[in-house]
Amino acid sequence: MSTAPQVAASHTLAEPDHPAVGVATGLLNSYVPGARFLGTPTRTLLGEGVHSEVPHDERPPALRVAATLAAARSAGHTAPLVMGAIPFDQDAPAALAVPAVLHTAPPLTADPLVALPADPPSRTDMTVHQEPAPEQYAASVAAAVERMWKGEFSKVVLARTLRIDATDPFDVAAMLQRLARRDPSGYTFALPTGPDRTLLGASPELLVSRHGSRVVANPLAGSVPRSDDLAEDVRRAAALLESAKDLHEHAVVVNAVEESLARYCTDLTVPVRPTLVRTATMWHLSTTVTGRLRSPDTAALELACALHPTPAVCGTPTDTARRVIRESEGFDRGFFTGMVGWGDADGDGEWVVTIRCAEAEPTSLRLYAGAGVVAASDPEAETAETAAKFRTFLGAVGARL
């Protein structure tokens, strides 16, 4: 018999007058590999056990999830919720399940205890392999730029990976702690994707959320690494807001998001100019798109699948960009640049672009980072951008390039 979900965290509050103190970080502290953790700006979720898994078949992901949630509700699960990950290739097997027990809490940013530092990485022997080598990646960028000048396509997102091998098993729970406490206002996740395999990361980018009839998307495109020097950091942020190359790249993504959501939404609001979002390592151009659903039957995951892949993770035209990615990258992206998130039986949910992430196995990690390549791109600058994006995870591991 399945276990009904718990809809409140099972941790004792330190101070009754401040109900958020210790609740969200309590869920973070309770995470163990095999569980499902997701921290967003609206909530903190910890799923334990499996009530039911979403099957892999020919149906679109949104239909499979809806059927699984309906079956869970019929089986007595009073408030079923799916958590998990969908790959870059939506036709590939996903890792989605209804937890047997669900703990919820306010967002990590509402918990003052999140400001307490995580334990630093323990020392261990690690070997870092860059795949492909930086020079090879830069050559792929240069080749793509040359093809764009010939008019074959207008943008492609090219990625590279790092493989980190260690003599001792990685402490996945400790890595999650460092990711969450470093950027608590983002989207932090740790989700099982196979036996002894965990997808974890800290993404800054909301693909789409739905709460009732309200829809929000927050595409990010156009980036620059941050600086430890305050004056230089501010200069870089200001320059990004005026960069013709980055503004063009950003506009392409926003236009694609607006076009996709217009089929499902009314009252779409799209700001004329982007603003800035910062993480611990990067500045990003950001636009928040909002709208109202035309139909209450449209679930958050259906919207996410309609948006994915945006030009921010693939390119444009989409089919051509996919082909260039296959020809240029030389590896399977798997869950990288797919989506992670949650969805409930009422259609509400939050789905996030799977970036700043890694897949962890006992003694190995596979890290991913990509950069948007347009005709004005400089191969060395794009290589440096991917290196800066790797820093999010390298800091959690205690490794360096």
Collapsed DSSP state (helix, strand, coil) of residue 270: coil
CB neighbour burial string for 277-310, b if at least 16 within 10 angstroms, e if fewer: bebebbbbbbbebbbebeeeebbbbbbbbebbbb
pLDDT averaged over the chain?
92
Report residue 213: phi and psi, to 5°: -95, -5
The pLDDT value given to residue 121: 86
The pLDDT value given to residue 295: 95
Q: State the DSSP code for 229.
A: S
Catalytic residue among 48, 205, 329, 350: 205
Active site residue 155: yes
| Cα–Cα–Cα angle for 302, 8, 85, rounded to 5 degrees | 30
- Cα 234 versus chain centre, distance: 26
Six token digits for residue 39:
């921290």
Six token digits for residue 337:
């640049």
C-beta of residue 362 within 8 angstroms of C-beta of residue 155: no
Q: State the DSSP code for 282.
A: E
Phi-psi region of 212 (alpha: psi -120 to 50; beta: other; left: phi over 0): left
pTM: 0.92
The pLDDT value given to residue 19: 58
The pLDDT value given to residue 396: 86
Residues in CB range of 141: below 8 A, 6 or more apart: 158, 371, 373, 377, 379, 382, 383
The pLDDT value given to residue 400: 78
The pLDDT value given to residue 61: 96
Which parts of the chain register pLDDT below 70?
A: 1-19, 123
The pLDDT value given to residue 394: 87
Catalytic residue among 48, 155, 258, 385: 155
Residues in CB range of 8: below 8 A, 6 or more apart: 103, 104
Active site residue 242: no
The pLDDT value given to residue 21: 87
- pLDDT one-digit tens code per residue, 40-87: 999 999 999 999 999 999 999 999 999 999 999 999 988 999 999 999
- Return the half-sphere exposure (C-beta side, CA atoms, 13 A cut-off) of residue 375: 11
- Cα 334 versus chain centre, distance: 13
Partnered with residue 211 across adjacent β-strands are 214
| Cα–Cα–Cα angle for 275, 277, 279, rounded to 5 degrees | 165
Please name the residue that has the structure tokens 């630093």: 120
